[in-house]
Structure 1
Amino acid sequence: MKSVGYAAMGSLVLMGSCKEFPKQEEVSNTQIKKEIVNPLVSPVKSGSSLPSLFTANDGALLSWVHEINDSLAEFKFARLSAGEWTEPETIVQGSDWFINWADFPTIAENNGNLLSHVLKKSSKETFSYDIQLHLKSNTDVSWRTNLPLHTDGTKTEHGFVTMLPYNEDAFFVTWLDGRNTGGGGHGHEGDMNIRAAEVAVDGTVNNEVLLDAKTCSCCQTTAAITDNGPVVLYRDRTDAEIRDIAITRQVNGKWTEPKFIFDDGWEINGCPVNGPKADAINNNLAVAWFTAVNNEPKVKLVFSLDGGENFDAPILISDNTTIGRVDLILLDKENAIVSWMETVGQEAQIKTVKVNRSGEMSKAIIVSKLGASRKTGFPQMTLVGDKVYFAWTDVTEDLSTIKTAYIFLNDF
């Protein structure tokens, strides 16, 4: 088995239509709109990074990590209320966390019940850490912290978590699990796998299931809840080192055999650290992802009208020096908003565009210019009412903070 590591950047059969659309016409600089990006005062102090956005019933939640010093960090969040961020609240502090630009903590809410997670070191090995949950029900005064998600007890890598509201007050959680890798590094002999479970409002973990026994080792997971049930998408890994995006779906209480959503055929011997993003409304599903077959980087988007059983042909979003780091909002069965990053010289830009299922795209919008290093992490995007909100890590002279802004839907 070849070792799997972080790349410089950053056995399945496709069902349904898979003829790729022609390349979209390039968006010229004269078409790019900048003035409609509205800055929003951030609630975050300097020394913070790793933002995560979540759309709640009454607004949005923003979570992040603030490093107090070299050995102590705190996980915080703020709520968007009446168009402004509330005063931050600390969820938990820790001195033995795994803090990484690509594998970051998240937060979710379901009917006033809050669930979040951090990654806690389980040994001195670099990639040896556990997922620890933090829960605050709508009747709790304080957070219940350091609750287990997995109980395998191995000193291996567990992370890249996706959490979503599920049923009345529970959560659906999926993650990459290294219990079979045999060690706390990326030079291991075993395979990374992906698992899922349900977390009840009391912290009980139910219905844990192995979804795929062999996956890419360090790309973000994503999931969505369709009318048929949850779907999970991730970067798979075949014996031939093909690392395309796969989907598995829960239908009638059972999980389907994973399949590629499109046959990119990206053969790469290391993990590209670039996962997909999915969003669903009823049984309408959209997925955005990054690929770089033949060293030609691209961001693509596909739509499905049947909960991911079949997909339309991919739409090319960007091949202009893109580095991926995508996000996605599904507006309706015909339209989605995609964000991604592109390099421009020694810097990078966060861009966003509205895309129709027909392949028609709006003019690209530059959300922000920022550094192209890993320290800038993965920009976040979410929809609240008639505004699309963004959060990203801004690094100046090695000092990081988090900036936020919004764009009116009508400006796309």
Structure 2
Amino acid sequence: MKSYTICGLIVLIVFLTSCAETLKKEVEAVNYIDSPAGDVSSLPYLFSNGENTLMSWVEHHEDTLASLYYAELKDVEWQTSHKILQGDDWFVNWADFPMIVENRGNLLSHVLKKSSEGTYSYDVKLNVLPKGSENWMTDLPLHTDDTPTEHGFVSAVPYKGGSFFITWLDGRNTEEKEDGSRGAMTVRAAEVSAKGEVSKDTVLDVRTCDCCQTTTTITANGPVVIYRDRSEEEIRDMSIVRLVEGKWTAPKTIYSDNWLIKGCPVNGPKASSIGNNLAVAWFTAAGDLPKVNLVFSNDGGEHFDSPIRVDEADALGRVDVLLLDADTAIVSWMEAKDSGAQLKAVKIIRSGKKSDYKIIAELDGSRKTGFPQMELVGNSVYFAWTDVAKGVSNIKIAYVPVGQF
């Protein structure tokens, strides 16, 4: 009897030692650095193009006054922050947040500005800082309609020359008609010059999910846009449209999760590309099974491999993805944990092989946490998220060397 007890204790000690070593490795791999954001900050957005790394965020100074800031990362340190603009008539939302993008010295950002007293009535307003300029050009229109409807969930990337490719959800067709009927949310795309001039405004899909983030990336063939679609039967799976030889393809489902849901899950996809190699990550709860999926494509999104499940269990979504090479991606997501949540990340090979999961941070599981961000900077993966403690939000930042995955 004593021998069994001793053996049991030995097994328990070995197990606990192994767990402690695993946790120690996870903690040692995550390097936390100071944030450039001030007090009561939230909604971080990370951008990196291999040469420049920027982060934008929002700070609240009073009940209604909000300011959009940004800073540049150099040698693992954030430089002095800069205010782009402020306003007391913005729509500030946990899921539909401002962003910043750089291309050849030109900067573009956006905010959402209320257009009427309606709760979800707001416009996308662009801000640009052309290379060599000292002052931002602000409050520039992205869309030309004047309907008091929802416009947002913007994604933007560097494009031809010093311009930008941008896509967004556009609710102009949802305005109530005389007969009481309403149209559907649409997804649109356009090109924006360094001076904020909008061209080639195009409707990509006439019926989409109402409030899930869009994502876009530039493949060797041209831009692709991925978003949560919406069928007449309320199936809300991921679709892709591609600009090929100057023409947009028809929307095509990436993978048929067949998620039947009669309300928007507010959980969009993310994409990353190198040449015509493309990786897309997204959240689904089809069949009441919450999970995060990842798919690879080697032809610019014309065809995709079978999806790889990313999470372990209890996924909340809010995903991000980085493509390291044709066959390797890093995915981040939020996962429920006890009364809160964890921000996790993992490296996945196209064959389905995964690295050990990394716990980047312990988070509040509420909407106040927003959507954590992830970017590749040199040989490290950077993360930014909103930390909520005692009702106050502040932005936290950490990085993990790629070799630690």
Q: Structure 1 length normalisation: TM-score?
A: 0.91
Contact 2:276-2:299 at 8 Å conserved across structures: yes
> Of residues 288, 295, 301 in structure 2, which corresponds to 1:295?
288
**Corresponding residue of 1:354:** 347
Q: Distance in 2 between matches of 1:122 and 1:72?
A: 16
**Is 2:309 aligned against 1:316?**
yes
**Corresponding residue of 1:211:** 204
**Is 2:272 aligned against 1:279?**
yes
Q: Distance in 1 between matches of 2:111 and 2:196?
A: 15
Aligned counterparts, 1:211-290, within 5 A: 211-290=204-283
SS at match of 2:206: strand
> RMSD in angstroms over aligned alpha carbons?
1.4
Contact 2:50-2:378 at 8 Å conserved across structures: no
SS at match of 1:294: helix
Structure 1, unaligned runs of 5 or more: 1-27
**Is 2:84 aligned against 1:91?**
yes
Q: As a proportion of its length, which structure holds more helix? A: 2
Give the Å deviation of 1:188.
Answer: 7.6
**Corresponding residue of 1:7:** none
- Work out which structure has the larger RCO, using CA pairs closer than 8 Å and 6 or more positions apart in sequence: 1
**Is 2:325 aligned against 1:332?**
yes
**Corresponding residue of 1:364:** 357
> Of residues 128, 133, 139 in structure 1, which corresponds to 2:126?
133
Deviation string for 1:283-313 (max 9, x for gaps)? 0000000000121101000000000000001
Deviation string for 1:363-412 (max 9, x for gaps)? 00000001000000000000011110000000011100000010001100
Q: Distance in 2 between matches of 1:306 and 1:180?
A: 34
Q: Which amino acid aligns with 2:272?
A: D
Q: Distance in 2 between matches of 1:103 and 1:262?
A: 25
Q: Distance in 2 between matches of 1:351 and 1:359?
A: 18
Quote the sequence identity (%).
Answer: 56
Give the Å deviation of 1:183.
Answer: 5.2
**Corresponding residue of 1:201:** 194
**Is 2:109 aligned against 1:116?**
yes
Contact 1:97-1:120 at 8 Å conserved across structures: yes
Give the Å deviation of 1:127.
Answer: 0.3
**Is 2:392 aligned against 1:391?**
no
Contact 1:128-1:183 at 8 Å conserved across structures: no
SS at match of 2:123: strand
Give the Å deviation of 1:202.
Answer: 1.7
Q: Which amino acid aligns with 2:335?
A: E
Aligned counterparts, 1:20-169, within 5 A: 31=22, 33-169=26-162
Aligned residue pairs total 383
Q: 1:188 to 1:281 in 2, by over 3 A?
A: farther
Q: Which amino acid aligns with 1:59?
A: N
Contact 1:63-1:77 at 8 Å conserved across structures: yes
Give the Å deviation of 1:189.
Answer: 2.7
Q: Distance in 1 between matches of 2:345 and 2:97?
A: 22
Q: Distance in 1 between matches of 2:236 and 2:326?
A: 28
Deviation string for 1:246-290 (max 9, x for gaps)? 000000000000011001000000000000000110000000000
Return the index of the structure with the highest Cα Rg: 2
**Corresponding residue of 2:12:** none
Q: Distance in 2 between matches of 1:76 and 1:325?
A: 23
SS at match of 1:34: helix
SS at match of 2:287: helix
Give the Å deviation of 1:80.
Answer: 0.2
**Is 2:402 aligned against 1:409?**
yes
SS at match of 1:63: strand
Q: Distance in 2 between matches of 1:68 and 1:112?
A: 30
Give the Å deviation of 1:201.
Answer: 1.2
Q: 1:310 to 1:233 in 2, by over 3 A?
A: same
**Corresponding residue of 1:192:** 185
Q: Which amino acid aligns with 1:209?
A: T
**Corresponding residue of 1:6:** none
Give the Å deviation of 1:58.
Answer: 2.7
